[in-house]
Amino acid sequence: MNVHAAATAESATDLPTRVVHGACPHDCPDTCALRITVQGERVVKVQGRAEHPSTHGALCTKVSRYPERTYHPERVLRPLKRVSAKHEAPRFEPVSWSEALADIALRLRAIAAQDPQAILPYSYAGTMGLVQGEAMAGRFFNRLGASRLDRTICASAGGAGLAATYGGKVGMHLPFFAEAKLILIWGSNSIASNLHFWTYANQAKRQGAKLICIDPRRTETAEKCHQHLALLPGTDGALALGLMHELIVNDWLDHDYIARHVEGWEALREQALAWTPERSAAECGIGVDELRQLARDYAQARPAAIRLNYGMQRVRGGGNAVRLIALLPCLTGAWRDRAGGLLLSSSGWFAPYKKADLERPELRGDRPSRLINMSTIGDALLHPGSAEFGPAVRALIVYNSNPVAVAPESAKVVRGFQREDLFTVVLEHFMTDTADLADYVLPATTQLEHLDVHTSYGHTDVLLNQPAVAPLGEARSNTDIFRALAAAMGYTDPCFADSDAELARQALADTVDFAQLQEQGWFKLPLPEAPFAQGQYLTPSGKADARGATYVPNYESAASSPELASRYPLAMISPPARNFLNSSFVNVKSLRDIEGEQLLEMHAQDAAARGLADGQVVRVFNDRGSYRCRLAVSARARPGVVNGLGVWWRKLGLDGRNVNELTHQRLTDLGQAPCFYDCLVDVQAG
């Protein structure tokens, strides 16, 4: 250590510390309350708040490293302008904010003069905050008259399934899982992606509950459950129908509940009777006895809870599979108990507490508003200009998302972003794969540097995030950037002058106690404990709606596409690596060191059939493309299914690509969502 560094370190430890309360911004159902320790002007520690019930003082490994991410030497801290061609290696030079804003406004004005719908925002849940999400951005794009983005990339199939069945994205309350006697953990690697639910499930387990995991992959969660059903990807709807068959023939139904609170039962009953345990088990690739036992356990345990998660709806039939599974607790009357029922998402409980007009739709007036699906951005950029599609997309403004890494069929996404005539602005913390293809990269603040309010999709508290430190370098919050862009475009509407604090208040309805939110850091929504004990679903009829729910098989599987399966016999799923959050944190070295390299897990039998050995480099391929990664011959994979853990930054992969090189752009049955886990591949030595 040199003298200067020693002096700095010494004085740093002398500086007084203070604690700031925040909220985790990431796309994770847990929405943890943060305890941020600041020393001088630097955040030295991010921990979970002990006082917040579901956080209970613990964070995941990733967000414990939030200071490492925030103070990362590669943080983008100045506006950058591209100086190389799009198909060349990216080169940028720093420019002033005023130059960047003026030039961006000039370009956007020229495009908007012809048709503002040629401009498209592209954003998702890099931060889930209501303020740094769409508040000011929405105003900007409404005022501009830009195309709108259909934000389908994660949860819209399941969301549509829940809405069709229960009338909204609502379900059980998180803490009551601790009181259940049986928990089905269905399409969820809770330990990796929903850690704070796992705490409650574990509490139930210690009190004698049985835990059953339903997942093609033998995850760390599956290992810790009493039982694991490794079904084939995309067969959950067939499993649900097989379970219903058993409930019917054994008369394990709550007839009274069904008669009062379920619509369309007769047709569903007819359908389920065709799904004998033998047929259902064969479709799912599991044992008949396993299925029978699961039905018995589910029918006989009380309270019986289901933690459904989004992993099972990233397939063609994802929306209907959610519908069928969501009907199970309606058939057994599990909803009568507060510890019974199902939770996929709690986000709908917040609907009455959020202001609908935060993004000021009136600024758009009666101008047309084309909707473009974010999950098919590759095709949207490459096949523009048809009469049906409308004007080609000529400008993209990306924030809170890394589409080049996370959107399906990357080869097309990359080619789209490489169009020389496309003007792309990316608001980012880092030079992601998407930022690499920008014309301008604008430095954004992290959660430690800005104000926000958060709702959750795994619990029912509203959280406040106070800024802990001033923005680093020349970084600006998303809201500030959109305010500045609005000014550069000459927009003078008063709503562009609203501060973040004003936006935070405007985001929430008056029924949220803002004083309590500021004082305590969170506000718990007042909600009934057993929401559907007496029916009262949010559907128009007030009943759970079974009408039309059916099993929709995968696009790509041995059963549904035999010719394709003869060439690409392995089903590939690509669930997240535990120490990354989608493509966030992949560049945080301590976390990447834990994950090592891009991995493909394969069962020993499939590896032997291909002469492949553990640890070797392989090429995973199908008609859409290929990527190279490291093979892990592993009991985590079942025969016939490989697990390509995601979502890596392409440029940190072995050949500059990731798993989305292989996924396709076809959409789910409901909700227009991508089918990341409905994908056939083969693997060879690479």
Ligand X SMILES: Nc1nc2c(c(=O)[nH]1)N[C@H]1C(S)=C(S)[C@@H](COP(=O)(O)OP(=O)(O)OC[C@H]3O[C@@H](n4cnc5c(=O)[nH]c(N)nc54)[C@H](O)[C@@H]3O)O[C@H]1N2
- Of 215, 246, 455, 240, the C-alpha closest to 342 is 240
Query: In DSSP terms, which residues pair with 581 in a beta bridge?
Result: 584
When CB distances are held under 5 to 8 angstroms depending on the partner's kind, the choice from ligand SF4, Mo ion, ligand X, none that residue 215 binds is ligand X
How many other CB atoms are found less than 10 A from the CB of residue 270? 9
Looking at the Cβ atoms of 620 and 631, the one nearer to ligand X is 620
Q: How far is the CB of 480 from ligand X (least distance, A)?
A: 11
Q: How far is the CB of 339 from ligand X (least distance, A)?
A: 21
Which one of residues 36, 38, 43, 60 is an interface residue with ligand SF4 (CB under 6 A)? 60
| Residue 315 within binding range of ligand X, rule CB under 6 A | yes
| Residue 31 within binding range of ligand SF4, rule CB under 6 A | yes
| Residue 663 within binding range of ligand X, rule CB under 6 A | yes
Angle between helix 318-332 and helix 156-166 axes, rounded to 10 deg: 40
Which one of residues 20, 38, 59, 484 is an interface residue with ligand SF4 (CB under 6 A)? 59
Looking at the Cβ atoms of 353 and 677, the one nearer to ligand X is 677
When CB distances are held under 5 to 8 angstroms depending on the partner's kind, the choice from Mo ion, ligand X, ligand SF4, none that residue 429 binds is ligand X
Query: Which token pair is 641?
Result: 């299914």
Which one of residues 659, 680, 681, 683 is an interface residue with ligand X (CB under 6 A)? 659
Which one of residues 195, 468, 591, 612 is an interface residue with ligand SF4 (CB under 6 A)? 195
3-state SS class at 150 = strand
Looking at the Cβ atoms of 144 and 435, the one nearer to ligand X is 435
Looking at the Cβ atoms of 333 and 575, the one nearer to ligand X is 575
Residues binding Mo ion: what is the number (CB under 5 A)? 1
In the chain the first and final C-alpha atoms are separated, in Å, by 44
Q: How far is the CB of 31 from ligand SF4 (least distance, A)?
A: 5
Looking at the Cβ atoms of 30 and 428, the one nearer to ligand SF4 is 30
| Residue 427 within binding range of ligand X, rule CB under 6 A | yes
When CB distances are held under 5 to 8 angstroms depending on the partner's kind, the choice from ligand X, ligand SF4, Mo ion, none that residue 31 binds is ligand SF4
DSSP secondary structure letter of residue 493: -
Can you say whether the dihedral through the CA atoms of 427, 390, 392, 665 is positive or negative?
Answer: positive
Query: Which token pair is 644?
Result: 């390509």
- Is the Cβ–Cβ distance between 214 and 298 less than 8 Å? no
Residues binding ligand X: what is the number (CB under 6 A)? 59
Please tell me the number of Cα atoms within 13 Å of 100 on its side-chain side.
Answer: 26
Q: How far is the CB of 603 from ligand X (least distance, A)?
A: 14
When CB distances are held under 5 to 8 angstroms depending on the partner's kind, the choice from Mo ion, ligand X, ligand SF4, none that residue 195 binds is ligand SF4
Could you say which residues in the range 204-223 bind ligand X, by CB under 6 A?
Answer: 214-217, 219
| Residue 578 within binding range of ligand X, rule CB under 6 A | yes
Q: Pick the stretch among 86-94, 138-146, 247-255, 424-432 that binds ligand X (CB under 6 A).
A: 424-432
Q: Pick the stretch among 9-17, 56-64, 151-159, 587-595 that binds ligand SF4 (CB under 6 A).
A: 56-64
The contacts of residue 150 (CB under 8 Å, 6+ apart) are 156, 371, 372, 373, 374, 375, 672
Looking at the Cβ atoms of 334 and 681, the one nearer to ligand X is 681
| Residue 189 within binding range of ligand X, rule CB under 6 A | yes
| Residue 154 within binding range of Mo ion, rule CB under 5 A | yes
DSSP string over 157-203: HHHHHHHHHHSSS----GGGGGG-SEEEEES--HHHH-HHHHHHHHH
Q: How far is the CB of 62 from ligand SF4 (least distance, A)?
A: 6
> Which residue in the block uniquely carries the two structure tokens 């076809």?
666
Q: Pick the stretch among 78-86, 282-290, 310-318, 534-542 that binds ligand X (CB under 6 A).
A: 310-318
Which one of residues 20, 21, 22, 30 is an interface residue with ligand SF4 (CB under 6 A)? 30
- Rounded Cα distance between 120 and 377, Å, is 10
- Rounded Cα distance between 72 and 369, Å, is 39
Q: How far is the CB of 544 from ligand SF4 (least distance, A)?
A: 30
> Which residue in the block uniquely carries the two structure tokens 């862009």?
485
Length of the chain: 686
Q: Pick the stretch among 26-34, 365-373, 447-455, 511-519 that binds ligand SF4 (CB under 6 A).
A: 26-34
- Is the Cβ–Cβ distance between 473 and 78 less than 8 Å? yes
SS3 annotation, 550-612: CCCCCCCCCCCCHHHHHHCCEEEECCECCCCECCECCCCHHHHHHHCCCEEEECHHHHHHCCC
How many other CB atoms are found less than 10 A from the CB of residue 27? 19
DSSP string over 326-386: HHHHHHHTGGGSTT-EEES--GGGGGGGB-TTTT-GGGGTT----EEEGGGHHHHHHS---
Name the site residues for ligand SF4 (rule: CB under 6 A): 24, 26, 28, 30-32, 59-60, 62-63, 195, 581
Question: Under the rule (CB under 6 A), what is the footprint of ligand X?
Answer: 27-28, 124-127, 132, 153-154, 186-189, 192-194, 214-217, 219, 233-234, 236, 309-312, 315, 399-402, 405-406, 427-430, 432, 444, 478, 573-576, 578, 580-584, 646-647, 659-660, 663, 676-677
